[in-house]
Amino acid sequence: MGRGREGRAVSISMTPGFLHGVIDLVADAIIITDTSGTIGYLNKKAWGLFGYGEKASLGESIGMLFLPDDLIHFLPNILRKTQVEGGYEGENLLRRKDNTRVFVRMATSLYGGDGNEQWIVFTIQDITKLKELERNYYESERLAGLGRMGEEIAHKIRNPIVSIGGFARRISRTISQGDQVEYFKRIEQEISRLEGIMDQVQNFTTLPKPTYKKESVRKVIEASLESVSANASQNRVAIDFKVEEPSWDPLVFIDGPLLTRALSHILDNAIEAIDGEGSIRVKLFPKDDLVGIEISDSGCGIPQKNLGAIFEPFFSTKPGRVGIGLATTHRIIREQGGTMRVASHHGKGTRFSISLPTERRRKIRTQRLS
């Protein structure tokens, strides 16, 4: 019993129907089982989270939500710990009806006792998005650490390289014949290559923070196509740009120059991957609340063993390359709130799929709700 605004007593009738209605409004999934794990009740949040209906779940084992390996020890230990110690709490990976997986924070409590029937209450919170934010944070911290390291390396190495290069050029001008001329030319070439590597490392470490404003994604794509047109023509590569809905021209909060730089690098890589004549297809399309960009080529493809590492700084399978380009591209896309995925078949080509949010702010701040 409580008191309303005017001080009058307010009484709530705690009927089973009322309590079930309240539990259905709770933001977390709630599942109640007997001590063996057989489901006796679950709220609407649990139906939605795991994809099971109430009637289809009643009488089933809660083990259907656990990974097969976890049925051996993990679930029995949770049930035993709850009965002996009164509860369990931890982060776990569970599975839905369609066998997709979901990160959750799960807590259990024991209800009943003293001769009464005992029940175990599972409270389950979906923390998939929280885990993704956590991964993004640690990835940003890791990249920042790599950036500081790269900046320090570039600073420490650039001065000696410049000095060596300068002295090598001065000495080579005093030599007019013999093998030494060729030696010093080779030294100059290698110094120039090292200077180029230092420039790439510095570009990665000094990548500016995005400056957002509403820009046309279509125009950004066209600018990136223009920047690689000469390279494509020289290598006899045809590029086809298609907008799924011809009149569609989304304006989103992005840093246009940085995004142009990222797309241009993907396109240059695609051109390089094509041996002889070939084609690149660029597609712009709506994707729910996102803008989708797809770049696919008819090139040599990427071996499956390398797909998981292509966005790592300093990873490259090409001789003489530093492996900064795709790492920089990935960083640009992520810092603008987007995602980038790659699919490839060795010898058949590669497809990069980019998704950008149409609105960086939440709908509750930008739209009148009906």
CATH classification for the domain delimited by 2-126, as one of 3.90.470.20, 3.30.530.20, 3.30.450.20, 3.40.50.1000? 3.30.450.20
Domain boundaries, the chain: 2-126, 128-206, 210-370
pLDDT at 79: 92
Around 230, how many Cα atoms within 13 Å sit in the side-chain half-sphere?
Answer: 1
Residue type, 275: D
pLDDT score recorded for residue 7: 53
Q: CA end-to-end span of the chain, whole Å? A: 34
Rounded distance, CA 360 to CA 190, Å?
A: 46
- Taking CA atoms, 121 is separated from 19, 87, 167, in Å, by 15, 9, 77
Question: Which CATH topology does 210-370 take?
Answer: Heat Shock Protein 90 (3.30.565)
Q: Which residues of the chain have pLDDT under 70?
A: 1-18, 20, 54, 56, 113-116, 133-155, 176-179, 200-206, 313-323, 360-370
Are 356 and 256 contacting, i.e. CB atoms less than 8 angstroms apart? Answer: no
Closest CA to 241 of 279, 289, 287: 279
Whole-angstrom distance, CA of residue 356 vs CA of residue 337: 7
Domain 128-206, classified CATH 1.10.287, yes or no: yes
Round the CA-based radius of gyration of the chain to a whole number and report it.
30
What's the pLDDT at 107? Answer: 93
Would you state the pLDDT for residue 120? Answer: 93
Written as six digits, the tokens of 161 are 């390289």
- Asked whether 276 and 236 are in contact (CB, 8 A), the reply is yes
Placement of tokens 């795991």 in the chain:
50
Give the separation between CA 123 and CA 109, rounded to whole angstroms: 8
Which one-letter DSSP state was computed for residue 207? P
